[in-house]
């Protein structure tokens, strides 16, 4: 089955199939065996192409948060119909939404600032874990909706962008 996931603000199209020992990711570069084994102590072991790593995983809906080797990763499943609707609207990337409830700990931009794809915009804290959100595309910051220290709910609009001229 064909899927798309957002990881580090980049979308990765892939196909996923079951195998006798877990799953296989079908990428343009080839097929990679993967498996996620949940341990009795609540931790997990992620195995990618034969290399295993102990990770911490938390899931909420289509969002999966992974802590591995001292880094935090946010993986979001992109439903094919939502992806198509976003392409037709053309403005989905103008809104930066909270992937989980939390509070702002650092703002890297102000309204009126020009940003480039991947540029850090703000850092949020949720469950004692800091996550930096970056610009999904080039543009100008139209509005920053929360100040440092303010709390918000999941899917709250944190920042809006205007298209680059």
Looking at the structure, do residues 22 and 56 belong to the same domain, yes or no? yes
How far apart are alpha carbons 35 and 50 in whole angstroms?
9
pLDDT of residue 103: 96
Looking at the structure, do residues 132 and 99 belong to the same domain, yes or no? yes
In a domain, 16, yes or no: yes
How far apart are alpha carbons 91 and 101 in whole angstroms?
23
In a domain, 63, yes or no: yes
pLDDT of residue 76: 74
pLDDT of residue 52: 93
Return the bridge partners of 74, or none: 65
Helix (H) or strand (E) run with residue 85 in it: helix 80-89
Looking at the structure, do residues 41 and 95 belong to the same domain, yes or no? no
pLDDT of residue 148: 96
Kindly state the average pLDDT of the residues 111-115: 94
Looking at the structure, do residues 96 and 60 belong to the same domain, yes or no? no
Q: What is the mean pLDDT of the chain?
A: 83
Looking at the structure, do residues 7 and 71 belong to the same domain, yes or no? yes
Kindly state the average pLDDT of the residues 14-41: 84
Looking at the structure, do residues 72 and 102 belong to the same domain, yes or no? no
pLDDT of residue 3: 61
Q: What is the CATH number of the domain that holds 108?
A: 2.40.50.100
In a domain, 85, yes or no: no
Looking at the structure, do residues 10 and 72 belong to the same domain, yes or no? yes
Helix (H) or strand (E) run with residue 114 in it: strand 114-115
Q: What is the CATH number of the domain that holds 33?
A: 3.30.700.30
Q: Nearest Cα to 98, choosing from 148, 145, 163, 161?
A: 145
In the chain, the number of structural domains is 2
pLDDT of residue 67: 86
Angle (CA) 122 109 66, round 5°: 15
In a domain, 70, yes or no: yes
Token representation of residue 151: 């709390």
Token representation of residue 99: 């992937």
Looking at the structure, do residues 68 and 98 belong to the same domain, yes or no? no
In a domain, 42, yes or no: yes
What is the pTM assigned to this prediction? 0.49
Between 128 and 10, where is the model more confident?
128
In a domain, 103, yes or no: yes
Statement: residue 99 has pLDDT above 60: yes
Looking at the structure, do residues 106 and 55 belong to the same domain, yes or no? no
How far apart are alpha carbons 67 and 128 in whole angstroms?
12
In a domain, 95, yes or no: yes
Contact residues for 76 (Cβ-Cβ < 8 A; gap 6+): 5, 6, 62, 63, 64, 99
Q: Nearest Cα to 158, choosing from 136, 138, 90?
A: 136
In a domain, 84, yes or no: no
Containing structural domain, residue 28? 2-77
């Amino acid at each position: 089955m064909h899927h798309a996931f957002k990881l580090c603000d980049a979308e990765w199209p892939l196909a996923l199939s079951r195998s006798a020992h877990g799953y296989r990711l079908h990428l343009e570069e080839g097929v990679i065996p993967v498996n996620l084994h949940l341990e009795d102590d609540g931790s997990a072991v992620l195995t990618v192409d034969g290399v295993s790593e102990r990770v911490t995983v938390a899931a909420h809906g289509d969002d999966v948060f992974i802590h591995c080797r001292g880094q935090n990763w946010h993986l979001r499943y992109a439903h094919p119909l939502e992806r198509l609707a976003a392409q037709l609207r053309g403005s989905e990337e103008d809104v930066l939404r909270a992937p989980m409830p939390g509070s702002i700990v650092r703002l890297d931009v102000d309204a009126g600032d020009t940003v480039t794809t991947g540029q850090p915009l703000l850092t949020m804290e949720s469950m004692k874990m800091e996550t930096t959100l970056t610009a999904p595309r080039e543009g100008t910051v139209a509005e920053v909706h929360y100040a440092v220290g303010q709390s918000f709910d999941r899917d709250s609009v944190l920042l809006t962008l205007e298209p680059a001229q």
